[in-house]
Structure 1
Amino acid sequence: MATANTEIARTVASIARGLISDAEAAAILVPARKEKNRIEAELATADTVTNVVELHPQAVQRFADNLEALAAIIANKEALPIWRLPAPSGHWSKAL
Protein backbone atom coordinates (compact mmCIF):
# COMPACT_ATOMS: atom_id res chain seq x y z
CA MET A 1 0.00 0.00 0.00
CA ALA A 2 2.97 2.28 0.58
CA THR A 3 3.80 2.10 -3.12
CA ALA A 4 0.25 3.12 -4.11
CA ASN A 5 0.23 5.96 -1.55
CA THR A 6 3.62 7.16 -2.77
CA GLU A 7 2.45 7.10 -6.39
CA ILE A 8 -0.67 9.07 -5.48
CA ALA A 9 1.36 11.62 -3.51
CA ARG A 10 3.89 12.06 -6.34
CA THR A 11 1.12 12.53 -8.88
CA VAL A 12 -0.69 15.12 -6.75
CA ALA A 13 2.62 16.97 -6.21
CA SER A 14 3.31 16.90 -9.96
CA ILE A 15 -0.13 18.38 -10.64
CA ALA A 16 0.45 21.10 -8.04
CA ARG A 17 3.77 22.05 -9.66
CA GLY A 18 2.22 22.02 -13.09
CA LEU A 19 4.52 19.26 -14.29
CA ILE A 20 1.75 17.01 -15.63
CA SER A 21 -1.71 17.60 -17.07
CA ASP A 22 -4.96 16.45 -15.54
CA ALA A 23 -5.28 13.73 -18.19
CA GLU A 24 -1.79 12.42 -17.41
CA ALA A 25 -2.56 12.51 -13.71
CA ALA A 26 -5.81 10.59 -14.23
CA ALA A 27 -3.93 7.88 -16.12
CA ILE A 28 -1.64 7.45 -13.11
CA LEU A 29 -4.14 8.02 -10.28
CA VAL A 30 -6.89 5.64 -11.41
CA PRO A 31 -4.73 2.48 -11.26
CA ALA A 32 -2.95 3.65 -8.08
CA ARG A 33 -6.29 4.26 -6.32
CA LYS A 34 -7.62 0.88 -7.49
CA GLU A 35 -4.54 -0.83 -6.08
CA LYS A 36 -4.88 1.08 -2.80
CA ASN A 37 -8.57 0.11 -2.52
CA ARG A 38 -7.77 -3.53 -3.31
CA ILE A 39 -5.11 -3.62 -0.60
CA GLU A 40 -7.38 -1.91 1.94
CA ALA A 41 -10.15 -4.44 1.23
CA GLU A 42 -7.66 -7.29 1.63
CA LEU A 43 -6.43 -5.86 4.93
CA ALA A 44 -9.99 -5.41 6.18
CA THR A 45 -10.64 -9.14 5.82
CA ALA A 46 -7.22 -10.21 7.12
CA ASP A 47 -8.37 -9.99 10.74
CA THR A 48 -11.51 -12.02 10.07
CA VAL A 49 -11.64 -15.08 12.30
CA THR A 50 -12.19 -18.29 10.38
CA ASN A 51 -12.91 -21.79 11.57
CA VAL A 52 -10.44 -23.39 9.21
CA VAL A 53 -8.23 -26.17 10.48
CA GLU A 54 -5.27 -27.23 8.38
CA LEU A 55 -4.61 -30.95 8.40
CA HIS A 56 -1.41 -32.71 7.48
CA PRO A 57 -1.95 -35.04 4.49
CA GLN A 58 -0.63 -38.03 6.46
CA ALA A 59 -3.13 -37.33 9.25
CA VAL A 60 -5.97 -37.30 6.73
CA GLN A 61 -4.76 -40.58 5.23
CA ARG A 62 -4.45 -42.25 8.66
CA PHE A 63 -7.95 -41.05 9.57
CA ALA A 64 -9.34 -42.52 6.32
CA ASP A 65 -7.49 -45.79 6.95
CA ASN A 66 -8.86 -45.96 10.50
CA LEU A 67 -12.40 -45.37 9.23
CA GLU A 68 -12.02 -48.18 6.71
CA ALA A 69 -10.68 -50.51 9.42
CA LEU A 70 -13.57 -49.59 11.72
CA ALA A 71 -16.07 -50.23 8.91
CA ALA A 72 -14.52 -53.68 8.37
CA ILE A 73 -14.75 -54.47 12.09
CA ILE A 74 -18.39 -53.36 12.25
CA ALA A 75 -19.24 -55.37 9.12
CA ASN A 76 -17.77 -58.50 10.75
CA LYS A 77 -19.05 -57.91 14.26
CA GLU A 78 -19.87 -61.61 14.85
CA ALA A 79 -16.13 -62.30 14.99
CA LEU A 80 -15.65 -59.88 17.88
CA PRO A 81 -15.44 -61.26 21.43
CA ILE A 82 -18.17 -60.30 23.88
CA TRP A 83 -16.69 -58.37 26.77
CA ARG A 84 -18.05 -58.36 30.30
CA LEU A 85 -18.00 -55.40 32.59
CA PRO A 86 -14.81 -55.13 34.63
CA ALA A 87 -14.57 -57.47 37.56
CA PRO A 88 -14.01 -55.90 40.97
CA SER A 89 -10.28 -56.30 40.35
CA GLY A 90 -10.62 -53.81 37.49
CA HIS A 91 -9.54 -56.28 34.78
CA TRP A 92 -11.60 -56.98 31.70
CA SER A 93 -12.44 -60.57 30.87
CA LYS A 94 -13.84 -62.34 27.81
CA ALA A 95 -17.11 -64.20 27.98
CA LEU A 96 -16.59 -67.87 27.27
Structure 2
Amino acid sequence: MDNIGEKIRIRRVTKSYSQEYMAFMLNISQAAYSNLERGETALTLTRVYEIAEILEMSPFELMPKPKFGLGINHVAFIKTIKKLQATLTAHVKARKKLTFPSR
Protein backbone atom coordinates (compact mmCIF):
# COMPACT_ATOMS: atom_id res chain seq x y z
CA MET A 1 0.00 0.00 0.00
CA ASP A 2 1.98 2.99 -1.29
CA ASN A 3 -0.97 5.37 -1.47
CA ILE A 4 -0.44 8.03 1.22
CA GLY A 5 -4.14 8.96 1.21
CA GLU A 6 -5.11 5.35 1.94
CA LYS A 7 -2.63 5.15 4.81
CA ILE A 8 -4.04 8.37 6.24
CA ARG A 9 -7.63 7.11 5.90
CA ILE A 10 -6.86 3.82 7.62
CA ARG A 11 -5.12 5.55 10.54
CA ARG A 12 -7.92 8.13 10.79
CA VAL A 13 -10.60 5.44 10.93
CA THR A 14 -8.55 3.41 13.44
CA LYS A 15 -8.43 6.46 15.72
CA SER A 16 -12.18 7.07 15.15
CA TYR A 17 -11.55 10.55 13.74
CA SER A 18 -14.02 11.94 11.22
CA GLN A 19 -13.05 13.75 8.06
CA GLU A 20 -14.71 16.82 9.54
CA TYR A 21 -12.42 16.64 12.60
CA MET A 22 -9.30 16.26 10.44
CA ALA A 23 -10.40 19.15 8.21
CA PHE A 24 -11.02 21.34 11.28
CA MET A 25 -7.57 20.53 12.70
CA LEU A 26 -5.94 21.32 9.34
CA ASN A 27 -8.03 24.47 8.87
CA ILE A 28 -9.42 23.30 5.52
CA SER A 29 -12.88 22.24 4.32
CA GLN A 30 -14.11 18.67 4.65
CA ALA A 31 -14.28 18.46 0.83
CA ALA A 32 -10.64 19.55 0.56
CA TYR A 33 -9.63 16.97 3.16
CA SER A 34 -11.57 14.27 1.32
CA ASN A 35 -9.62 15.15 -1.84
CA LEU A 36 -6.38 14.64 0.08
CA GLU A 37 -7.38 11.14 1.19
CA ARG A 38 -8.50 10.20 -2.31
CA GLY A 39 -5.26 11.47 -3.81
CA GLU A 40 -7.00 14.10 -5.92
CA THR A 41 -4.98 16.87 -4.30
CA ALA A 42 -1.20 16.70 -3.99
CA LEU A 43 0.12 16.70 -0.44
CA THR A 44 2.94 19.01 0.52
CA LEU A 45 5.60 17.81 2.92
CA THR A 46 4.34 20.33 5.47
CA ARG A 47 0.82 18.93 5.18
CA VAL A 48 2.09 15.36 5.61
CA TYR A 49 3.80 16.42 8.86
CA GLU A 50 0.64 18.19 10.07
CA ILE A 51 -1.51 15.14 9.35
CA ALA A 52 1.00 12.79 10.98
CA GLU A 53 1.00 14.96 14.11
CA ILE A 54 -2.79 14.91 14.34
CA LEU A 55 -2.82 11.12 13.83
CA GLU A 56 0.01 10.70 16.39
CA MET A 57 2.34 8.89 14.04
CA SER A 58 5.64 9.42 12.29
CA PRO A 59 5.35 11.14 8.91
CA PHE A 60 7.75 8.49 7.60
CA GLU A 61 5.06 5.84 8.12
CA LEU A 62 3.01 7.67 5.49
CA MET A 63 5.74 7.83 2.89
CA PRO A 64 6.01 5.20 0.15
CA LYS A 65 8.71 2.54 0.40
CA PRO A 66 11.94 3.26 -1.50
CA LYS A 67 11.98 1.96 -5.09
CA PHE A 68 15.44 0.50 -4.93
CA GLY A 69 15.48 -1.59 -1.80
CA LEU A 70 14.55 -1.21 1.80
CA GLY A 71 17.97 -0.60 3.23
CA ILE A 72 21.36 -2.18 3.57
CA ASN A 73 21.91 -5.74 2.41
CA HIS A 74 23.55 -6.90 5.62
CA VAL A 75 25.06 -10.08 4.16
CA ALA A 76 26.79 -8.19 1.35
CA PHE A 77 27.85 -5.48 3.80
CA ILE A 78 29.53 -7.99 6.13
CA LYS A 79 31.28 -9.72 3.19
CA THR A 80 32.61 -6.36 2.00
CA ILE A 81 33.87 -5.48 5.48
CA LYS A 82 35.65 -8.84 5.74
CA LYS A 83 37.29 -8.32 2.33
CA LEU A 84 38.45 -4.86 3.36
CA GLN A 85 39.79 -6.22 6.63
CA ALA A 86 41.73 -8.97 4.81
CA THR A 87 43.14 -6.47 2.31
CA LEU A 88 44.18 -4.08 5.05
CA THR A 89 45.81 -6.89 7.04
CA ALA A 90 47.74 -8.02 3.95
CA HIS A 91 48.98 -4.48 3.31
CA VAL A 92 50.07 -4.05 6.92
CA LYS A 93 51.98 -7.37 6.84
CA ALA A 94 53.60 -6.46 3.53
CA ARG A 95 54.67 -3.09 4.88
CA LYS A 96 56.25 -4.68 7.96
CA LYS A 97 58.39 -6.87 5.66
CA LEU A 98 59.77 -3.85 3.83
CA THR A 99 63.14 -2.70 5.02
CA PHE A 100 64.04 0.90 4.71
CA PRO A 101 67.65 2.00 4.24
CA SER A 102 69.14 3.68 7.27
CA ARG A 103 70.32 7.20 7.02
What TM-score, normalized to structure 1?
Answer: 0.37
Q: Highest Rg: 1 or 2?
A: 1
Higher RCO structure, 1 or 2 (CA under 8 Å, sep 6+): 2
What TM-score, normalized to structure 2?
Answer: 0.35
